[in-house]
Amino acid sequence: MDPVALQTEELISAIRSSGDYQRYKKCEEQLRQNPELKKKVDEYRVRNFQLQQTERDLFDESDEVLREFGSVLKNPLAAEYLDAESSVCRMVQRVVNYINKSVAVDIPEMEKPGH
């Protein structure tokens, strides 16, 4: 195995061994035991992701999402799962950002479609 692949495997192992990832997996398993709640949480996650990808007025739309999924977000298991997921995503994002800063690859800026 080449050195980069080997180090990547070690990084993946470190992430999987982390407290944040272990908490996420525990919450994920608990959520799977409640299919109805899992479905609602997944619907919220999709809507939240779509909201983050849009260029429209985020304040009005996020208020709408919060009203629509408020009861789901107040559920302790759902809230814990979403918090754990967010922690893992931030950890992975920090790793990716660090790699991007450390491995200089000149990528030109691209215009967004329609501009």
DSSP secondary structure letters along 52-108? HH--S-HHHHHHHHHHHHHHHHHSHHHHHHHHHHHHHHHHHHHHHHHHHHHS-----
Global pTM value: 0.82
pLDDT in tens, 61-87: 888 888 899 999 999 999 999 999 999
pLDDT in tens, 23-32: 999 999 999 9
